[in-house]
Amino acid sequence: MDNNMTYCDECRKDVIYIEKEMVFRERLNGKKYTYKGIMAICPKCGSEVYVGEIMDSNMDAIYAEYRRKNSLIPLEKLLEIPKKYGIGKRPLSLLLGWGELTFTRYCEGYMPTKQYSDILQKIYDDPNYYYSILESKRDNLKSNISYEKSLRATNTVIKESMRPITKIDIVSEYVKTKCEDISPLALKKALYYIQGFCYAFNGEYIFPDNLEPCKEVGLSQSEKEVIDSVIKNLCCYSGIILKDFTRLEEPWLEAKKDLPDTEESDITISRESIGKYFVSVKEIFKMTGPSDIKVYARKMFRKIN
């Protein structure tokens, strides 16, 4: 059965549904929230059809908006904390002096209080702060093994946080600041487009092959123009839609041709193929400047719809 097939109550048969980006307004805990989501539509009668994955995705989107509006730590950052510091969910709760299952519930989608959220956000942002908790409250842990494992991971994180800043760090932070709330997938795709269009318009790659430290922490005016246009015209789409864009583009198709069963995340695309492709895009669409990226974005959106 087709992955995009579901049952339409109106037509009373299975149909291959169409996904349409929508802006939804929902009430949560007494307040209204606006968020971008997906509606599954029957192509025969035009009515909305039920697709479990899409409903789950929309639910995640409204909760993400709720967290953003109420300044609560994003779920993806919260889930990253145990991995980052090498500690289990229950031991982390005990270390912080909370109920043993408190952090586990937060990982399952329960909303933390503002007080607990601020603690988790600071832990995520500042490994030295977490280290101070680990040392000062180690007696809360049930085993010394948990402490030693977390200590090793924390020391590694602290050392890595001291590494010199790179150009990709600067651009990533710039995009995240401008977009306020951008998924890791959307950011990955944004960096790809920034690399390609910077080469097309400025004649050089913004990101070198090796992650060498930046001599100057900043962006040139020409780089900002490209980045701002990518943010305005491409980051308005979700990471899933941008992934659909890239799957139609030559760099991805070229890299995938010898790996028919691989996932996109396993594919390494050379910067040379990216540069070559976006130079051709500039010529084909007769682009005179970064503002013309909007023409390409609209064309790709029409292609996938």
* CATH number of the domain residue 17 falls in: 3.10.20
| Domains: count for the chain | 3
What pLDDT sits at residue 209? 74
Same domain as 89, residue 200:
no
Q: Both 45 and 154 in a single domain? A: no
In this structure, are 29 and 114 located in the same domain?
Answer: no
In the predicted model, is pLDDT for residue 302 greater than 80? Answer: yes
Phi and psi based region of residue 292 (left: phi greater than 0; alpha: psi -120 to 50; beta: remaining): alpha
Domain that holds residue 121: 75-161
Average pLDDT, the chain: 89
pLDDT of 213 > 80? The answer is no
User: What 3-state class would DSSP assign to 230?
Assistant: helix
What's the confidence (pLDDT) of residue 1? 42
**Any idea what DSSP says for residue 12?**
T
Sequence-separated contacts (24+) of 113-119 with Cβ below 8 Å: 114/70, 114/71, 114/72, 117/71, 117/72, 117/73
Global pTM reads 0.52
Chain-centroid distance of CA 190 in Å reads 10
Find the range with the poorest average confidence among 83-92, 154-163, 191-200: 154-163
Among 102, 128, 161, the domain-final residue is 161
CB 24 within 8 A of CB 35: yes
Name the domain boundary from 69, 98, 119.
69
- Residues 215 and 290 placed together within one structural domain of the fold: yes
- pLDDT tens by residue, 155-182: 899 888 776 778 888 888 889 878 878 9
Q: Give the model's pLDDT for residue 49.
A: 96
Tens of pLDDT along 39-80? Answer: 999 999 999 999 999 998 999 899 889 998 898 999 999 999
